[in-house]
Amino acid sequence: MPGNLVMDASYVGSKGTKLYLNEDMNPSVPAVANAFNPGIQRITPPGFTGSTTCTPGTTGCLISGRLDNLQGSRLIRTNGGSSTYHSAQALVTRRFTNGFSLSSAYTWSKLIDNASEVFTVADTNLPQQASFPSIFGGQAAERGVSFFDRTHRFSLTYVYELPFYREQRGFVGHLLGGFQLSGVTTFETGVPLTVVNGQDADSIGGNLDRPDFNPNGQPGVRAVPAIATAAANPCGVAVGATFYTNPDAAGACINPADAQYIGLLASSGRRGNLGRNTLRTPGQNNWNLNLLKRIHIGEASSVELRAEFYNVFNHPQYGTASVSPFSPGSTGVPANVFTSAAGQFLHPEFSDGGGRVIRYQLKYSF
């Protein structure tokens, strides 16, 4: 193409099979079956009289509250994972000529899987296992957008050597010559995010449940349930009935039909209908710049002054922690229906936005 440019356009796809994931092979389950989970109950040999309250180490202290009631956790790493990836990619490059080079890339893609990582990812709600145990068929329900999916990504990399006084002759040449500007600019779709319930609603597999999603509710609004008692009944319902409040509105009562995310009480015998990775953090708009000044000293040595600007325009980069070792610890986007602090639910500004960092470097080469 004109201007020493080369363009490449392609389709790139892949299929992943037998990928690593974690499966809970002996999950916590209710003592008896219920209407929502008929047949799922603890298996205990007839006549066994063990108790969870007995003295540890004595006979009869083996009850675990799990499917196999005499055994503990069996979190097993298996090859039950799978993924599919499809993308359209475009690349435009200009090789280094006359002091200038450029490389730009755009990708439009979709990555789908049933598990993205075998470890819990810090500052996210990505658990290390399925919200509903895979041995009961929960792994199929986890299929969705991958944690690593970025629908759109554009990156631009460039290096430009200023044409002035490149030979660096004399005092003026050494003062004004030898400058170079380079950088990496990235625009990217946000990181997928899962909203979690915060209570073990189905009593199966631990506290990994998700809430109910109401597509007709107010976006970003949650309804947290509680049981009315004679001493605590702010919404004036019958004692023993369920009422809902919104912690982000000073605990005001709310009709769950008006909320987008509806919490489920612990041990309510059911799990929410919300899928995995249904939200995203705001997209990235990041500019990293590098300003370099090289001063030649004779033919074999030089002094290099460098200023590196990370996130030079100080745009919030949610989902990407700051490069500074002195930045406050990131807490991620609060997305827990029950436990997110009042006024913070689904507000990304309460997480680390990867603020601007400037580094300076002095190097002598010989």
Count: domains in the chain: 1
Q: In Å, how far are 4, 85, 257, 287, 298 from 104, measured between CA atoms?
A: 14, 21, 47, 14, 36
What is the residue type of 254? I
Residue 81 resides in a domain:
yes
In three-state secondary structure terms, 73 is: coil
- The pLDDT tens digits for 175-194 are 888 899 999 999 999 989 99
For 234, residues 6+ apart whose C-beta sits below 8 A from its C-beta are 243, 245, 251, 253
Buried residues in 41-79 as b, exposed as e (16+ CB within 10 A): ebebeeeeebeeeeeeeeeeeebbebbebeeeeeeeebe
pTM above 0.75, yes or no: yes
Alpha carbon distances (Å) from 11 to 33, 87, 187: 50, 6, 20
Angle at the Cα of 278 from the Cα atoms of 276 and 283, rounded to 5 degrees: 130
pLDDT band at 125 (very low <50, low <70, confident <90, very high): confident
Q: What sign has the CA pseudo-torsion 26, 28, 34, 37? A: negative
Q: Max Cα separation, the chain?
A: 97
* Domain boundaries, position 110: 1-42+62-150
Q: Is residue 293 part of a domain?
A: no
Q: Please, what is the average pLDDT of the chain?
A: 88
- In the DSSP assignment, the letter for residue 170 is H
> For residue 319, what pLDDT is reported?
66
Predicted confidence band of residue 101 (pLDDT cuts 50, 70, 90): very high
Mean pLDDT of 247-275: 94
Q: What is the pLDDT of residues 28-69, one digit of tens each?
A: 888 887 777 777 788 888 877 665 555 544 555 567 888 888
Give domain status of residue 143, yes or no.
yes
pLDDT score recorded for residue 174: 80
* Residues of the chain above pLDDT 90, percent: 56
Query: What is the distance between the alpha carbons of residues 155 and 236, in angstroms, rounded to a whole number?
Result: 56
- Considering the domain boundaries, does residue 360 fall inside one? no
Residue 27 lies inside a defined structural domain of this protein: yes
Whether 344 is in a domain gets the answer no
Question: Between β-strands 357-365 and 218-227, what pairing exists: parallel, antiparallel or unpaired?
Answer: unpaired
* Beta carbons within 10 angstroms of residue 107's beta carbon: 17
> What does the pLDDT read at residue 271?
87
Sign of CA dihedral 12, 16, 19, 25: positive
Q: How far lies 285's CA from each of 16, 184, 192, 322, 330, in Å?
A: 30, 11, 16, 14, 19
Model pLDDT for residues 317-361, shown as the tens digit of each residue: 876 667 777 776 666 788 999 999 999 999 888 777 778 899 999
Give residue 132's identity as a one-letter amino acid code: F
Give residue 328's pLDDT: 66
pLDDT attached to residue 104: 97
Is residue 348 included in any domain, yes or no?
A: no
Q: Is residue 111 part of a domain?
A: yes
The pLDDT of 87-93, averaged and rounded, is: 97
* Mean pLDDT in residue range 165-175: 81
Q: Own/partner pairs for 67-70, CB < 8 Å, 24+ apart?
A: 67/26, 67/27, 67/29, 67/40, 67/42, 67/43, 67/135, 68/26, 68/43, 69/42, 69/43, 69/44, 70/44, 70/45
Is the pLDDT score of 167 beyond 70? yes
